[in-house]
């Protein structure tokens, strides 16, 4: 198990240190996750009063994870760890229904901090092995993640003791951080390609015809048409060529940017969306239509 995590983290970045901050309410499982990553085994833990930090070295790469205590009296100290954080892991006890609203308040308060404006967010819906645990879709709704339209985020169901889900979550985080580094390197090199859009941009063009009782969330099946333009100037409109696209949210049936932009959408609503490359086809592009590091814009109708 340690080797699996090692290989995954080795692919995380280029040749520099990456700083990851892991927070959440007390007893969410943060320290158990940290030492599962470090040692590949379960360790006996006590409530963290200050912080734990572990660094994994791979040649000239340092992957540093800070695990900060989550007790209410020390949460105000979280902000002292925000500086230079590139990735944020927020751990939630999926079995703790009484405090999930408290978790949401702490998460939103933290994301409002200017020092974390560029940090990507990975949510671990932990303790999925417990019989009354909320699933990832429930946690998404309870935390209000669908409202984060200007931040790259991902939620992963996990069980820290078995390691289930940790690989998938870190794989997403690795890709996000790697893409960010690639964009910076490209800009520094003076590339002739236009500057990429770095965040998903969503704008409502047409409001739903009636109050929305059931906004789209994970597990819902949507029927949509979409139209727009590619970066080479070509126009597309799926309503002219095929039946509506049928998507079950949360099943990774479409590119991440499209799926995220559909969250919280209502029947009859029309949105304008600009999807950055790292939430579309990534560094490989999708030639000749969507070149590498190019944004894509489109409009969507939910029916």
Instruction: Give every CB contact of residue 128 below 8 A, 6+ residues apart in sequence.
Output: 94, 135, 157, 158, 159, 164, 165
Instruction: Tell me, yes or no, if 260 is annotated catalytic.
Output: no
Q: Is 299 annotated in some ligand binding site?
A: no
Choose the catalytic residue: 71, 83, 251, 253.
71
Closest to 226 measured CA to CA, from 131, 299, 144: 299
Q: Is 128 annotated in some ligand binding site?
A: yes
- Residues 172, 173, 178, 179, Cα dihedral to 10°: 60
Encoded tokens for 35: 């030492």
Q: Is 270 annotated in some ligand binding site?
A: no
Q: Is 96 annotated in some ligand binding site?
A: no
Encoded tokens for 99: 């405090």
Provide the 3-class DSSP secondary structure of residue 35: helix
Cα end-to-end span (Å), the chain: 45
Q: Is 193 annotated in some ligand binding site?
A: no
Q: Is 27 annotated in some ligand binding site?
A: yes
Q: Is 26 annotated in some ligand binding site?
A: yes
Q: Is 250 annotated in some ligand binding site?
A: no
Q: Is 70 annotated in some ligand binding site?
A: yes
- CA distances in angstroms from 214 to 2, 203, 208, 249, listed in the order given: 43, 19, 12, 14
Task: Give the max Cα distance, the chain.
Answer: 61
Q: Is 180 annotated in some ligand binding site?
A: no
CA–CA dist 155, 169 (Å, integer): 8
Feature table: binding site for Mg(2+): 31, 48
Any idea which residues carry the catalytic annotation? 71
Feature table: binding site: 24-31, 48, 70, 126-129
């Amino acid at each position: 198990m340690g080797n699996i995590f090692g290989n995954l983290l080795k692919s995380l970045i280029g040749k520099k240190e990456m700083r990851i901050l892991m927070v959440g309410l007390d007893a969410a499982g943060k320290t158990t996750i940290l030492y599962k990553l470090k040692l590949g085994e379960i360790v006996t833990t006590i409530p963290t009063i200050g912080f734990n930090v572990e660094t994994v070295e791979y040649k000239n790469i340092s992957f540093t994870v800070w695990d900060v205590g989550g007790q209410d009296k020390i949460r105000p100290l979280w902000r002292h760890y925000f500086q230079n954080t590139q990735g944020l892991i927020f751990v939630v006890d999926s079995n703790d229904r009484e405090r999930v609203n408290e978790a949401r308040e702490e998460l939103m308060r933290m994301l409002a901090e200017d020092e974390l404006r560029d940090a990507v967010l990975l949510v671990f819906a932990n303790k999925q092995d417990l019989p009354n645990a909320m699933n990832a879709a429930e946690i998404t709704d309870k935390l209000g993640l669908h409202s984060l339209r200007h931040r790259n985020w991902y939620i992963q169901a996990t069980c820290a003791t078995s390691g289930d889900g940790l690989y998938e979550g870190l794989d997403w985080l690795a890709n996000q951080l790697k893409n960010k580094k690639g964009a910076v390197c490209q800009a520094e090199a003076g590339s002739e390609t236009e500057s990429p859009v770095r965040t998903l941009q969503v704008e409502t063009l047409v409001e739903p015809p009636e109050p929305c009782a059931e906004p789209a969330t994970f597990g819902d099946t949507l029927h949509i048409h979409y139209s727009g333009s590619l970066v080479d100037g070509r126009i597309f409109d799926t309503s002219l060529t095929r039946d509506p696209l049928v998507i079950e949210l949360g099943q990774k049936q479409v590119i991440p940017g499209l799926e995220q932009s559909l969250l919280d959408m209502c029947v009859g609503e029309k949105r304008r969306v600009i999807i950055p490359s790292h939430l579309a086809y990534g560094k490989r592009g999708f030639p000749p239509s969507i070149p590498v590091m190019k944004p894509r814009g489109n409009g969507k109708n939910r029916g």
